[in-house]
Amino acid sequence: MYRTHTCGELRLSDKQKKVTLSGWIQRSRDLGGMTFVDLRDRYGLTQLVFNMDTDASLCQEVRKLGRECVIQAEGMVAERSNKNPKMPTGDIEIQVKRFSILNSSVTPPFTIEDESDGGDELRMKYRYLDLRRNPLKNNLLLRHQMAYETRSYLNSQEFIEVETPVLIKSTPEGARDFVVPSRVNAGQFYALPQSPQTFKQLLMVAGYDRYMQIVKCFRDEDLRADRQPEFTQIDCEMAFVHQEDILVMFEGMVKHLFKAIKGIEFSSAFPRLTYAKALEKYGNDKPDLRFGMEFVDLTGSAKGKGFSVLDSAAYIGAIVAPGCTEYTRKQIDELTDFVKKPQVGGKGLIYIRMGTDGSVKSSMDKFYTPEDLLAIAAVAGATAGDLVFVMAGDKIPTLKAMSELRLEMGNRLGLRKKNVFRPLWVVDFPLFEWDEETKRFYAMHHPFTSPKPEDVQYIESDPARIRANAYDCVINGAEVGGGSIRIFEEQLQKKMFKTLGFTDEEAKRQFGFLMDAFRYGAPPHGGIAFGLDRLVSIFAGEDSIRDVIAFPKNNAGRDVMADCPAEISEEQLKELSIKVVKL
């Protein structure tokens, strides 16, 4: 038997017990007559003590061992004279009578402590060592718990987990596919699923009216932001449902997770915002509701004083930074530089400073009298002591830049607290998105998303104004889930493909199997998928999803530990009937 107990288990009530522990040497300290070793396993740390007076040879032996060596130690549980209240096992120690080395370790490339001295790349290269550290271990335990609670909730609601294939025909999520060559079908390729979308719809046709799966999805996207080429979804579909049924069911799931994992109870329903309102108030379809600072539209009230920046603008918006009147010139310049960054896209930043004494000062006071400025500030909802930011330009880019400014101000004012959670639903997304470059419409969600019945009439005349039965679940400024009610009638689906620029043949070639299935009695259905990685990272208070994935890829999509992707041998290529030509 390697162990009688784990390294996180023993307490004062176990005093005098003879025990055997196995684990890794976290650190050791020699204090002349005594050597202390902290032994670690997944469950915690226990202090081992070796006594030079009574067991000299044992003590000398253990002093030779370095960090991360794996040992087995036998001894007696004793009360510590110097207790450590910060450790669950801090009241006791093991007086070791015998130990054996199970395996030695070379010196690790970084210290395995909560705060490590290893840089990102190094820790990724030795991920198995990084995973020994508490922060990552806790994240993996949390992830396990969340997956478990997800299954438990959905199981209680009659969902069944069905596995769908990984080698498939292309799916329609709008990213690039990863492809896999087929050896036995030379020159032909499978795609890896961007999601199990088509399969879960086929399961509805097959009559399994509540499906779920915690499943890997693959998208060959540019990896800017915090994305991974492979990621995990909680993928779900239901039949005989309207949008409302889905929202209620999955609000229930999110609430269950908060309650079971964090002990947080949301007593009222999550707020719902239409896509149009979300853009109007926050410039963003995934607003962070942990703080206010909603936009105020000044387009109708701030023009006409000869200031061409405002007079010529299609949109003028304001954000009130509460209590920020004391912002220095330097701080305002910094924010001006921030909004002008190409990724933010603002043209400039105008301010109105509301003095606590009722005075007003502004970067546009050449054109506006104090009375004008106070009137504008009043429309914006600002009061004494506030700082009002005004931005102007074309509507969408200005809203987008204001969104970035709002989030930046939220950060600066400490309003985006990691332990505050503000979930909401964003609904009524547009069905289509126009792409200027290719001059065509794309499905904003995917081509199976249904239009609002009252908007279907515009499918030929004005597709841009059609709203979809599509919804996102958003928490703290991150989209954690999204889905839609699907089209289940053949004729409407055909119109949809046509608007998206698919010819009949193309649609048939790509999704013929699904269209065929729909001819055999497809029930009304809809679904949603949550990003498990993102959800766990929000619960864990981590900024990056990498910190909640056991073996993630780096920013360039590489596995730096195994060094992949990598070239394959000539022989393998030949078997696959593939020749690599570098372009």
Binding site for ligand ASP (CB under 6 A): 173, 195, 197, 482-484, 527-529
CB of 233 to ligand ASP, least distance (A): 6
Whichever of 219 and 281 has its CB closer to ligand ASP, that residue is 219
- Phi, psi at residue 362, to the nearest 5°? -150, 155
CB of 195 to ligand ASP, least distance (A): 3
What H or E segment, with its residue span, contains residue 263?
none
Q: Which of 301, 325, 319 is nearest to 403 (CA)?
A: 319
Whichever of 23 and 527 has its CB closer to ligand ASP, that residue is 527
3-state helix, strand, coil in the chain (%, to 5): 30, 25, 45
d(CA 93, CA 495): 73
Whichever of 173 and 297 has its CB closer to ligand ASP, that residue is 173
CB of 38 to ligand ASP, least distance (A): 45
d(CA 22, CA 69): 11
Whichever of 287 and 483 has its CB closer to ligand ASP, that residue is 483
CB of 193 to ligand ASP, least distance (A): 9
Beta bridge partners of 115: none
CB of 213 to ligand ASP, least distance (A): 11
- Phi, psi at residue 397, to the nearest 5°? -60, -35
CB of 192 to ligand ASP, least distance (A): 13
- Phi, psi at residue 240, to the nearest 5°? 55, 50
Residue nearest to ligand ASP (CB): 195
* Count of Cβ atoms closer than 10 Å to residue 415 Cβ: 17
Instruction: Please report how many Cα atoms fall inside a 13 Å half-sphere around the Cα of residue 320, on the Cβ side.
Output: 19
Whichever of 215 and 279 has its CB closer to ligand ASP, that residue is 215
CB of 104 to ligand ASP, least distance (A): 47
| Whether 477 contacts 416, CB under 8 Å | yes
| Whether 546 contacts 559, CB under 8 Å | no
Tokens for 67, please give them. 């960090």
CB of 529 to ligand ASP, least distance (A): 4
Q: Residues 434, 440, 444, 450: is their CA dihedral positive or negative? A: positive
Whichever of 74 and 173 has its CB closer to ligand ASP, that residue is 173
Whichever of 12 and 206 has its CB closer to ligand ASP, that residue is 206
- Phi, psi at residue 387, to the nearest 5°? -120, 125
Whichever of 203 and 409 has its CB closer to ligand ASP, that residue is 203
Q: Which of 316, 460, 326 is nearest to 395 (CA)?
A: 316
Whichever of 373 and 529 has its CB closer to ligand ASP, that residue is 529
User: How far is C-alpha 439 from the geometric centre of its chain's CA atoms?
Assistant: 31
Q: Which of 564, 476, 558 is nearest to 228 (CA)?
A: 558
Whichever of 283 and 483 has its CB closer to ligand ASP, that residue is 483
Tokens for 36, please give them. 């202390």
State in Å, rounded, how far the first CA of the chain is from the last one: 59
CB of 146 to ligand ASP, least distance (A): 18
Pairing of strands 44-51, 34-41: antiparallel
CB of 234 to ligand ASP, least distance (A): 10
